[in-house]
Structure 1
Amino acid sequence: MKINHLTPAEENLMKLFWKLESFYLKDIMEQHSEPKPHQNTVSTYLKILVEKGYLSTEKEGRIFKYTVLVPLEEYRKFLLKEISHHFFNDSGKEILEFLFNENLISQEDLRGYFDLKIEMKPAKIKEPKHEYANEVLNPKKDKKSKDKKKKKKKDQPK
C-alpha cells in the first residue's frame, strides 16, 4: 500500500479518525474540539482522505460510514523513513545523535530502552577544511625559489 503525504489539516483530522477507527460524519462533528469546522469542510476532507487511500466508505442507507485504512503506526513509519531519507542520509545513527544533541532523548531513555551500560557523549563537530581557501590565501612557494634564496644567502659575504 502506497502512503501519500498529508497536509497539516488532513493530519489533524486523521489524529481524530485514528482514535475513532470507524465513524460517521456526525461522530466527527461531535468529537471535534472547538472551534468546530463547518460540516461541508469536514465532508470535503473526508472525500480527499478517501481518494488518498487513508479512509474507506461504506454506504448505510443515506449516510456513509468511514473506516481508517492506514493505521497510525504505518503513517509514523512512513514519516520517519521520509525524514531519515531526506535529512539524515538513511542513517539511524545520525537520527539518534540528533535526538541526543537536541535533548529530545536522554541517556536514561537509551539505557531504559536498550538496557545497556554505555554512556553517550555528544558528537564532536569537526571544523570544515578550507584547503582551497588556504592555498589561495597562503600559496606554497616552489622548491626552486627556496633553493635560489638559500644559495643567495650562502653566497653573500658575512
Structure 2
Amino acid sequence: MKISHLTSAEENLMKLFWTLQSFYLKDVMEKHTEPKPHQNTVSTYLKILVEKGYLSTIREGRIFKYTVLVPIDEYKKFLLNELCEQFFNQSGRELAAFLLKESLISQDDIKTYFDVPINTKPKKVKKPKLEYAEEILNPKKGKGRKKKKKKE
C-alpha cells in the first residue's frame, strides 16, 4: 500500500476517523468539534480520502459506511521517514541528536524506552584564561616596572 501526503484539513479529519475506525457521515458530523464544517465539505473530503486510499466504502442502502484502511502508525512511520529523508540525510542518529538537542526528548526517556544504558559525554568547556587577573592577584617578584638606566 502506497501512502500519499495529506493536506492539513485531510489530516485533521483523519485524526477523527482513526478514533472512529468505521463510521457513517452522520457519525462524523456528530463527533466533529466546533466549529463543525458543512456536511458537503466533509462529504468531499471523504471522497478524496477514498481516492487516496485512506478510506474504503461500503454502500448500505442509500448511505455509505466508511472504514479506515491506513492505520495511524503507518501514517506516522510514513511522515517520519519523509522527515528523515528531507532534513536529516536519512539518518535516525541525526534525528535523535536533534530531538535531544532541542529537549523534545530526554536521555531518561531514551533509557526508559530502550532499557539500554546510554553514556553521553558532557560538552567540554574551556576554562577562560585569566592572565590579567593572575598578574593582579598573584604578582611575581622581579616582575614589575624596571627603571631604565641613563647612559652617561
TM norm structure 1: 0.75
Residue number in structure 1 paired with 2:28? 28
Kindly provide the amino acid, as one letter, of the partner of residue 56 in structure 1. S
Instruction: Name the counterpart of 1:69.
Output: 69
Paired residues for 1:20-99 under 5 Å: 20-99=20-99
Q: CA deviation at 1:55?
A: 0.4
CA–CA distance in 2 between the matches of 1:123 and 1:62? Answer: 66
Distance 1:71 1:122, change over 3 A: farther
Taking the aligned partners of 2:85 and 2:8, their CA distance within structure 1 comes to 21
Q: Could you tell me how far 1:121 is from its partner in structure 2?
A: 4.7
How much is the aligned-residue C-alpha RMSD, in angstroms? 1.5
Amino acid across the alignment from 1:107: Q
Structure 1 letter corresponding to 2:89: N
Q: CA deviation at 1:115?
A: 1.8
What is the number of equivalent residue pairs in this alignment? 124
Identity of aligned residues (%): 73
Cα contact 1:107–1:119 (8 A) shared by 2: no
Greater helix fraction, Structure 1 or Structure 2: 1
4+ runs deviating over 2 angstroms: 116-124
